[in-house]
Amino acid sequence: MNIGIASERSGLPAKTIRYYEDIGLLKPDRGDNGYRDYSTSDVHRLRFVQRARGLGFTVSECRQLLSLYDDTGRESADVKSIATAKLVEIDRKIAELKGLRDVLSHLVAHCHGDHRPDCPIIDELAGAQPGS
Protein backbone atom coordinates (compact mmCIF):
# COMPACT_ATOMS: atom_id res chain seq x y z
CA MET A 1 0.00 0.00 0.00
CA ASN A 2 1.06 3.59 -0.65
CA ILE A 3 2.28 5.97 2.00
CA GLY A 4 -1.00 7.89 2.06
CA ILE A 5 -2.95 4.85 3.15
CA ALA A 6 -0.24 3.83 5.62
CA SER A 7 -0.42 7.34 7.03
CA GLU A 8 -4.16 7.10 7.43
CA ARG A 9 -4.01 3.72 9.07
CA SER A 10 -1.12 4.47 11.38
CA GLY A 11 -2.20 7.94 12.40
CA LEU A 12 1.21 9.32 11.47
CA PRO A 13 1.83 12.05 8.86
CA ALA A 14 3.60 10.86 5.72
CA LYS A 15 6.47 13.19 6.54
CA THR A 16 7.01 11.44 9.82
CA ILE A 17 6.81 8.01 8.24
CA ARG A 18 9.53 8.95 5.77
CA TYR A 19 11.58 10.33 8.63
CA TYR A 20 11.24 7.06 10.52
CA GLU A 21 12.50 5.26 7.46
CA ASP A 22 15.43 7.65 7.27
CA ILE A 23 16.48 6.82 10.78
CA GLY A 24 15.99 3.11 10.20
CA LEU A 25 12.83 2.30 12.13
CA LEU A 26 11.37 0.45 9.16
CA LYS A 27 12.24 -0.35 5.59
CA PRO A 28 9.26 -0.68 3.27
CA ASP A 29 9.55 -2.24 -0.16
CA ARG A 30 9.65 -0.08 -3.26
CA GLY A 31 7.43 -0.52 -6.28
CA ASP A 32 8.72 -0.26 -9.86
CA ASN A 33 7.62 3.34 -9.88
CA GLY A 34 9.79 4.13 -6.88
CA TYR A 35 6.82 4.45 -4.56
CA ARG A 36 7.13 3.03 -1.09
CA ASP A 37 5.04 -0.07 -0.56
CA TYR A 38 3.92 -0.72 3.00
CA SER A 39 2.84 -4.09 4.35
CA THR A 40 0.26 -4.59 7.07
CA SER A 41 3.11 -5.41 9.39
CA ASP A 42 4.75 -2.07 8.57
CA VAL A 43 1.54 -0.35 9.55
CA HIS A 44 1.55 -2.25 12.84
CA ARG A 45 5.04 -1.03 13.56
CA LEU A 46 4.03 2.51 12.74
CA ARG A 47 0.96 2.41 14.93
CA PHE A 48 3.05 1.02 17.71
CA VAL A 49 5.55 3.84 17.43
CA GLN A 50 2.75 6.38 17.19
CA ARG A 51 1.36 5.17 20.48
CA ALA A 52 4.66 4.90 22.27
CA ARG A 53 5.76 8.37 21.15
CA GLY A 54 2.52 9.85 22.41
CA LEU A 55 3.21 8.27 25.75
CA GLY A 56 6.53 9.95 26.23
CA PHE A 57 8.89 7.28 24.94
CA THR A 58 11.74 8.68 22.88
CA VAL A 59 12.37 7.48 19.37
CA SER A 60 15.34 5.48 20.53
CA GLU A 61 13.21 3.83 23.19
CA CYS A 62 10.73 3.00 20.45
CA ARG A 63 13.59 1.46 18.55
CA GLN A 64 14.29 -0.74 21.57
CA LEU A 65 10.65 -1.67 21.92
CA LEU A 66 10.45 -2.55 18.24
CA SER A 67 13.57 -4.63 18.54
CA LEU A 68 11.64 -6.86 20.93
CA TYR A 69 9.58 -7.94 17.94
CA ASP A 70 12.57 -8.27 15.68
CA ASP A 71 14.50 -10.48 18.01
CA THR A 72 14.75 -13.62 15.93
CA GLY A 73 18.51 -13.51 16.28
CA ARG A 74 18.59 -12.18 19.78
CA GLU A 75 19.05 -13.99 23.04
CA SER A 76 15.82 -14.63 24.84
CA ALA A 77 17.22 -13.42 28.16
CA ASP A 78 18.28 -10.19 26.50
CA VAL A 79 14.80 -9.54 25.19
CA LYS A 80 13.33 -10.39 28.51
CA SER A 81 15.51 -7.97 30.44
CA ILE A 82 14.78 -5.10 28.11
CA ALA A 83 11.08 -5.83 28.14
CA THR A 84 11.06 -6.09 31.90
CA ALA A 85 12.81 -2.77 32.27
CA LYS A 86 10.25 -1.20 29.96
CA LEU A 87 7.47 -2.72 32.01
CA VAL A 88 8.78 -1.02 35.12
CA GLU A 89 8.95 2.25 33.26
CA ILE A 90 5.43 1.84 31.95
CA ASP A 91 4.12 1.15 35.43
CA ARG A 92 5.82 4.29 36.65
CA LYS A 93 4.24 6.30 33.86
CA ILE A 94 0.83 4.88 34.65
CA ALA A 95 1.25 5.86 38.28
CA GLU A 96 2.34 9.37 37.30
CA LEU A 97 -0.60 9.78 34.97
CA LYS A 98 -2.92 8.75 37.74
CA GLY A 99 -1.28 11.34 39.98
CA LEU A 100 -1.75 13.98 37.30
CA ARG A 101 -5.32 12.88 36.91
CA ASP A 102 -5.95 13.32 40.61
CA VAL A 103 -4.49 16.81 40.61
CA LEU A 104 -6.59 17.91 37.70
CA SER A 105 -9.82 16.43 38.93
CA HIS A 106 -9.32 17.90 42.39
CA LEU A 107 -8.65 21.21 40.70
CA VAL A 108 -11.88 20.93 38.79
CA ALA A 109 -13.80 19.85 41.86
CA HIS A 110 -12.41 22.14 44.54
CA CYS A 111 -10.33 24.98 43.22
CA HIS A 112 -12.65 26.62 40.74
CA GLY A 113 -13.65 30.21 41.11
CA ASP A 114 -11.99 31.56 44.18
CA HIS A 115 -8.56 33.13 44.12
CA ARG A 116 -6.51 30.44 45.71
CA PRO A 117 -3.06 31.70 46.62
CA ASP A 118 -1.57 28.23 46.73
CA CYS A 119 -3.58 25.10 46.19
CA PRO A 120 -2.69 22.39 48.71
CA ILE A 121 -3.16 19.72 46.04
CA ILE A 122 -0.24 21.07 44.08
CA ASP A 123 1.95 20.89 47.14
CA GLU A 124 0.93 17.31 47.63
CA LEU A 125 1.73 16.36 44.07
CA ALA A 126 4.97 18.25 44.01
CA GLY A 127 5.95 16.77 47.33
CA ALA A 128 6.25 13.26 45.91
CA GLN A 129 9.85 12.72 44.96
CA PRO A 130 10.54 11.66 41.37
CA GLY A 131 11.04 7.96 40.74
CA SER A 132 14.80 7.68 40.58
Residues at the interface with a second copy (CB under 8 A): 11, 41, 43-44, 47-48, 50-56, 65, 68-69, 72, 76, 79-80, 83-84, 86-87, 90-91, 93-94, 96-101, 104-105, 107-108, 112-113, 115, 118-119, 122-123, 125-126, 130
Query: Which one of a second copy, DNA, none is in contact with 126 (Cβ closer than 5 to 8 A by kind)?
Result: a second copy
The DSSP annotation for 8-66 comes to: HHHT--HHHHHHHHHTTS---EE-TTS-EE--HHHHHHHHHHHHHHHTT--HHHHHHHH
Contact code string over 59-98 relative to DNA, x by CB under 7 A: xx--------------------------------------
Residues 6 and 43 sit within 8 Å (Cβ to Cβ): yes
d(CA 109, CA 103) in angstroms, rounded, equals 10
Q: Which stretch binds DNA (CB under 7 A): 51-59, 78-86, 93-101, 106-114?
A: 51-59
Of 34 and 130, the one with the shorter C-beta distance to a second copy is 130
* Alpha helices in 68-130, H assignment, sequence order: 76-110, 120-127
Could you tell which of DNA, a second copy, none binds residue 66, using a CB distance below 5 to 8 A set by kind?
Answer: none
Residues 51/14, Cβ–Cβ less than 8 Å: no
